[in-house]
C-alpha cells in the first residue's frame, strides 16, 4: 500500500462533512483525516529498514517494508497538540473497517499521550465496521502465507512482521503469541477505560467475505445461508453488553463516511442522532447531571433477517450492476431455503 498516488485534497463526507444538512451535529468540529497506508491495522511500530551497509548487499525479503501505523497516530497527535488540541474538551478518535479496529487498539495510548501533553480532553472512540467475529474456517498453525490463512493466523503472522502493539490490559489476558485475540472487539472492548461507540452492520460484507460469501455475485449453498442467518444473532449477542451501539440488520460495510449516512435508522433513529444522545449522556455524566431520557444510544435491530430493516442500503448484482432484493437472491439460489420466502414477505 502506498500514499504516492493520493490527491492533495479530500472532500469530507458523512461525519467528515462540513455541511450542516449532511452532518448536523459535527459539521463545525475541527476534523483531521489520517489516511491508511501502513497495512498493519494501525498497530505497527516497525520503522523503515536501514539501507544495506555494503554495495550489492541484499535485504531480507520480509524486511523491505515499514509498518508504523501506531507510530503515525502518535506523531499526528504530537503535531496537533500545540495547534489547539490541548485546549479541546473532547477528542473523538474514529475509524472505519481496519481503522475501526485501529481505534480500539490505540485509544488508550492516545488518551495517555494527551494527558502527558497537558490536555484535559476526554478521548472517545467511534468504531465503524471494525467489530469482527472469529472465522469459522479451519485454522492452520503451520499456515505458510497470510493470504491463504484464516484471519486469526494472518493477524498472528502480521503481528510479528509489523512489530505490532495491543493495549496493555488486553495483552495481559493472553499468553505470549496469543495477543492477536486483542484485534477482536468483543474481546478487547471490556479492557478499555475510554468510552467507545460501536457501529456495525449485523451482516457485514467483509465478515462474509472471510467465509468466501459474496452477496449478489454467486450462488450460495445451504450451509452458507445458514452461516449468514447465524451471523446476525452472533453479532447481536456480542453487542448485548456494549454501552453504546448502532447495528442495523443489513448487508453492507462502513457507514460514517457515506454521504447518505443519515438515512440509515434503527427504531426510527439515525446514527447521527444516536451519537448525539451518547455525547449528551457522557457530558451529563462528566458534569454530575442526570442524562436526558428518551435519547437512546444502544440501538440494535431485533428483526432476524438480512435487509429486514427498510432503511438498508440497496444490494447490487455484481455482474449486471442492477439493484437486487434479498428475495430475488434467495429465489436465484438453492431450493433448500425457499421456506424463508414466507418469513420475508
Could you give the residue ranges of the DSSP H alpha helices within the chain?
69-80, 98-116, 151-162, 168-171, 185-188, 205-210, 222-238, 271-286, 326-332, 340-344
Phi, psi of 202 (to 5 degrees): -70, -25
pLDDT given for residue 219 in this prediction:
78
Q: How many domains does the chain divide into? A: 1
- 189 Cβ contact list (under 8 Å, min separation 6): 104, 196, 198, 242
Buried b (16+ CB within 10 A) or exposed e, 139-167: eeeebeeeeebbbbbbbbbbbebbbbbbb
Q: Is 293 among the domain residues?
A: yes
Q: Is 179 among the domain residues?
A: yes
Q: Is 9 among the domain residues?
A: no
Number of Cβ within a 10 Å radius of residue 33: 9
Instruction: Give 79-130 as a DSSP string.
Output: HHGGGTGGG-SEEEEEEETHHHHHHHHHHHHHHHHHHHTT--PEEEEEEES-
Summary mean pLDDT of the chain:
88
Q: Is 253 among the domain residues?
A: yes
Mean pLDDT, residues 36-47? 95
User: Which active-site residues does the annotation give?
Assistant: 97, 204, 253
pLDDT in tens, 187-206: 999 999 999 999 999 999 99
Q: Is 4 among the domain residues?
A: no
The yes-or-no verdict on residue 243 having pLDDT over 50 is yes
pLDDT in tens, 49-77: 776 666 665 555 556 789 999 999 999 99
Higher model confidence: residue 135 or residue 92? 92
Q: Contact at 8 Å (CB) between 128 and 256? A: yes
Q: Is 255 among the domain residues?
A: yes
| pTM for the model | 0.89
Per the DSSP assignment, residues forming a β-bridge with 308 are none
pLDDT given for residue 119 in this prediction:
92
Half-sphere exposure of 102 (CA within 13 A, CB side): 25
pLDDT in tens, 249-260: 999 999 999 999
Q: Is 1 among the domain residues?
A: no
DSSP 3-state of 274: helix
Domain of residue 34: give its range: 14-344
What is the pLDDT confidence band of residue 293, given thresholds at 50, 70 and 90? confident
pLDDT given for residue 64 in this prediction:
76
Q: Is 7 among the domain residues?
A: no
Distance between CA 323 and CA 71 in Å, rounded? 42
What is the pLDDT confidence band of residue 278, given thresholds at 50, 70 and 90? very high
Amino acid at each position: 500500500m502506498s500514499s504516492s498516488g493520493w490527491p492533495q485534497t479530500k472532500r469530507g463526507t458523512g461525519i467528515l462533512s462540513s455541511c450542516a444538512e449532511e452532518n448536523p451535529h459535527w459539521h463545525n468540529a475541527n476534523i483531521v483525516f489520517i489516511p491508511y497506508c501502513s497495512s498493519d491495522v494501525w498497530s505497527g511500530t516497525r520503522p523503515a529498514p536501514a539501507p544495506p551497509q555494503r554495495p550489492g548487499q541484499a535485504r531480507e525479503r520480509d524486511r523491505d517494508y515499514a509498518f508504523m501505523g501506531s507510530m503515525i497516530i502518535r506523531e499526528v497527535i504530537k503535531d496537533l497538540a500545540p495547534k489547539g488540541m490541548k485546549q479541546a474538551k473532547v477528542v473523538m478518535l474514529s475509524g472505519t473497517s481496519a481503522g475501526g479496529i485501529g481505534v480500539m487498539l490505540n485509544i488508550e495510548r492516545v488518551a495517555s499521550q494527551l494527558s502527558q501533553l497537558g490536555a484535559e480532553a476526554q478521548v472517545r472512540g467511534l468504531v465503524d465496521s471494525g467489530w469482527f467475529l472469529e472465522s469459522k474456517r479451519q485454522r492452520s498453525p503451520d499456515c505458510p502465507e497470510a493470504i491463504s490463512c484464516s484471519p486469526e493466523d494472518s493477524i498472528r503472522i502480521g503481528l510479528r512482521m509489523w512489530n505490532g502493539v495491543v493495549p496493555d490490559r488486553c495483552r495481559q489476558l493472553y499468553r505470549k503469541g496469543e495477543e492477536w485475540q486483542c484485534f477482536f472487539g468483543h474481546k478487547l472492548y471490556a479492557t478499555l477505560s475510554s468510552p467507545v461507540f460501536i457501529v456495525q452492520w449485523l451482516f457485514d460484507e467483509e465478515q462474509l467475505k472471510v467465509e468466501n460469501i459474496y452477496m449478489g455475485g454467486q450462488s450460495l449453498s445451504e450451509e452458507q445461508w445458514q452461516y449468514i442467518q447465524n451471523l446476525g444473532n452472533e453479532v447481536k449477542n456480542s453487542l448485548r453488553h456494549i454501552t453504546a451501539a448502532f447495528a442495523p440488520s443489513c448487508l453492507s460495510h462502513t457507514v460514517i463516511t457515506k454521504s447518505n449516512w443519515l438515512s440509515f435508522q434503527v427504531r426510527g433513529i439515525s446514527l447521527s442522532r444516536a451519537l448525539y444522545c451518547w455525547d449528551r449522556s457522557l457530558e451529563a455524566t462528566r458534569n454530575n447531571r442526570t442524562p436526558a431520557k428518551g435519547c437512546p444510544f444502544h440501538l440494535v435491530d431485533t428483526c432476524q433477517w438480512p435487509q429486514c430493516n427498510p432503511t438498508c442500503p440497496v444490494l447490487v448484482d455484481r455482474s449486471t450492476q442492477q439493484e437486487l432484493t434479498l428475495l430475488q437472491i434467495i429465489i436465484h439460489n438453492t431450493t433448500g431455503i425457499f421456506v424463508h420466502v414466507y418469513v420475508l414477505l
